Chains A and B, each alone.
Chain A
Amino acid sequence: MALDRDTVRNIATLARIRVEDNELDALAGELSNILTFVEQLNEVDTKGVEPMTSVVAMQLPRRPDEVTDGNIQNKILANAPEGTRGFFAVPKVVE
């Protein structure tokens, strides 16, 4: 599968990665190669095979409805570039 420049630009925008115009062709080639490599899997006949969701046969574990965590405001904000009055402070996002 071959990706064109516009698709690569769109993917970059969705991933919030800045990609200059002169990088698009090279990236399109690399991404297309990856997809083509993965597409080899299409050669396997998977008709009637359930999708595998885990390598071990187990059920989704559930936790009881108990408060066991929280009250660690300092830890939560420790890596924030900026925090004010207990909040994360980020550049204004206006909707």
Chain B
Amino acid sequence: MSSTHLIKGKTGEWEVVIGLEVHAQVTSKAKLFSGAATAFGAEPNTQVSLIDAAMPGMLPVINGWCVEQAVKTGLGLNAQVNLHSVFDRKNYFYADLPAGYQISQYLQPIVGKGELLLDLADGKSRTVGITRLHLEMDAGKSLHDQHPSQTYIDLNRSGVALMEIVSEPDMRTAEEAGAYVRKLRSILRYLGTCDGNMEEGSLRCDCNVSVRRPGQPYGTRTETKNVNSVRFVMAAIEHEARRQIEVLESGGTIRQETRLFDPNSGTTRAMRGKEHAHDYRYFPDPDLLPLELSEDEVARIKATLPELPDDKKKRFIEQHKLSAFDAGILVSERASADFFEAVVTGDGKLGDGKTGRDAKLAANWVINDLFGRLNAAGKDITASPVTAGQLGRLIGLIQDGTISGRIAKDVFEIMFETGKDPLKIVEEKGLRQVSDTGALEAAIDEILGANVEKVAEYRAGKDKLLGFFVGQVMKKTGGKANPGVLNELLKKKLAP
């Protein structure tokens, strides 16, 4: 690794060491150990069973779907799936944890070591180790700001299935950590095992950060909890690294502690003293037998894996001859990748019968024109007013010479506004490109006749005037002249 990742302090250079723990909510209808619903935004305490409220005598029964999603995610991370895993109780007292313990997995998680490929800004990639993935239940939600002396508790989240995905301390910059969260979210969305919605808390990140002199052993780390956006993850790490360097350089020591990120100030602060907070006294949950999986079951789940971003990117580069950069943008969201491929192959409806569209051209249109326009309109690709079939047909019209690339931009704008089909717009507005040499020659003759002096100048060697003539003819034809044909005809006519 280059030394560019080092942070320069007052007394020399420091290396930042980052490991992330991501809590990803399993996409499921019901909770991990009860039949209560998981939908976001319900009335408080309406999606709570007596199990989630930890009423005495209630017994947990595991949701088989959630188990499969954890296995699927493990396979998507090229990780070891453990056929035998164990649920433990993690004991701590907090108002939103009614049982006084969280059911989690400790020594024997369902998924072991795996890896994740980071796509970095400079086009390079780097592998980050995954330590483990385990299943656990979420706690309830505390609202501290509703009453001056009370905290309100909503147990709707209590018992919702989470996958805690722990990375190795393999990252060295805030950018790498950001790339890790983005890539993990992308894979989870491809797999459909977590919706990756950070605003609604479906994906939360704990950042473990320490600093050290290059080549020295790891320093003491702090853990900044529940950071809920990629931007905040990067800001929290950046701030925490600089804070630790400052403490160490002024002769202090780092305490191993839990910290909170304040998005308003962009800083982290220590959580109030919980000296016993880390004494969780894990032990196997006597209410739950070990979770046993068969090889067959894992193989059956493996067979349902979709093409994942890394493979898709590789295929786009090979099959569609895209640049790594363009392919990377297109595959980051499955919806974008699917849209692009539908543009290239056509949707088979209202077909102009054309296949084999120029993939590079399609990529440019999707990335530059469509994404740009969607961005400006604040829309998601799934809400695009222009369908993949329509954009494909527009590109077909450019490829077969019906319209010029320039006119296509105008047609696209109308498509975006009205949702109309490109051919219809071209017909209605009379935007068909003029490639007919007779019609073009007439227009050229007219322009040359009106600019006799300029024609003489051109023939005397002022080549640059060609652009002027092209412009004039374009203007005359309303931009519809086929540029290739026009250039050729003009040069012929202007020849001395």
Binding site for B on A (CB under 8 A): 10, 13-14, 16, 53-54, 58-73, 75-77, 82, 84-95
Is B383 interfacial (CB-CB < 8 Å)?
no
In the complex, chain B residues whose CB is within 8 Å of the CB of A53: 284, 289-290
CA distance A14 to B280 in the complex (A): 9
13 more A-B residue pairs beyond the given contacts A65-B63, A67-B36, A93-B95, with a C-beta to C-beta distance below 8 A? A14-B91, A53-B289, A58-B289, A63-B64, A65-B65, A67-B29, A69-B49, A76-B45, A82-B150, A88-B45, A88-B154, A89-B147, A92-B150
CA distance A70 to B155 in the complex (A): 11
CA distance A58 to B149 in the complex (A): 49
CA distance A70 to B67 in the complex (A): 22
B228 to chain A, nearest CB (A): 15
Is B459 interfacial (CB-CB < 8 Å)?
no
Q: Is the pair A62, B63 in contact by a Cβ cutoff of 8 Å?
A: yes
In the complex, chain A residues whose CB is within 8 Å of the CB of B144: 92-95
Known: A69-B36, A72-B48, A90-B95. A64 touches B153 (CB 8 A): no
Chain B interface main SS type: loop
* Interface range on chain B (Cβ under 8 Å from partner): 35 or more
Top-7 shortest CB links A-B:
A68-B35, A62-B64, A65-B65, A87-B152, A69-B35, A69-B49, A88-B153
Chain A interface main SS type: loop
In the complex, chain B residues whose CB is within 8 Å of the CB of A70: 35-37, 46-49
Q: Is the pair B152, A84 in contact by a Cβ cutoff of 8 Å?
A: yes
In the complex, chain A residues whose CB is within 8 Å of the CB of B64: 62-65
- When C-beta atoms are compared, the residue in chain A nearest to B149 turns out to be A92
In the complex, chain B residues whose CB is within 8 Å of the CB of A68: 30, 35
B191 to chain A, nearest CB (A): 16
In the complex, chain A residues whose CB is within 8 Å of the CB of B198: none
In the complex, chain A residues whose CB is within 8 Å of the CB of B289: 53-54, 58-60
Q: Which of A13, A82, A85, A95 contacts B44 (CB 8 A)?
A: A85
Is B43 interfacial (CB-CB < 8 Å)?
yes
- When C-beta atoms are compared, the residue in chain B nearest to A82 turns out to be B150
Is B292 interfacial (CB-CB < 8 Å)?
yes
- When C-beta atoms are compared, the residue in chain B nearest to A71 turns out to be B46
Q: Is the pair A60, B37 in contact by a Cβ cutoff of 8 Å?
A: no
Q: Which of A66, A88, A95 contacts B35 (CB 8 A)?
A: A66
- When C-beta atoms are compared, the residue in chain A nearest to B225 turns out to be A95
In the complex, chain B residues whose CB is within 8 Å of the CB of A75: 50
A-B contact list, 13 entries, CB within 8 Å? A16-B93, A60-B288, A60-B292, A63-B63, A65-B63, A66-B35, A69-B50, A70-B36, A71-B47, A72-B49, A86-B45, A88-B154, A89-B147
Q: Is the pair A63, B151 in contact by a Cβ cutoff of 8 Å?
A: no
- When C-beta atoms are compared, the residue in chain A nearest to B156 turns out to be A70
A77 to chain B, nearest CB (A): 6
Among the 9-residue stretches B72-80, B240-248, B271-279, the one with 4 or more Cβ atoms under 8 Å from chain A is B271-279
Q: Which of A60, A67, A87 contacts B153 (CB 8 A)?
A: A87
CA distance A44 to B123 in the complex (A): 61
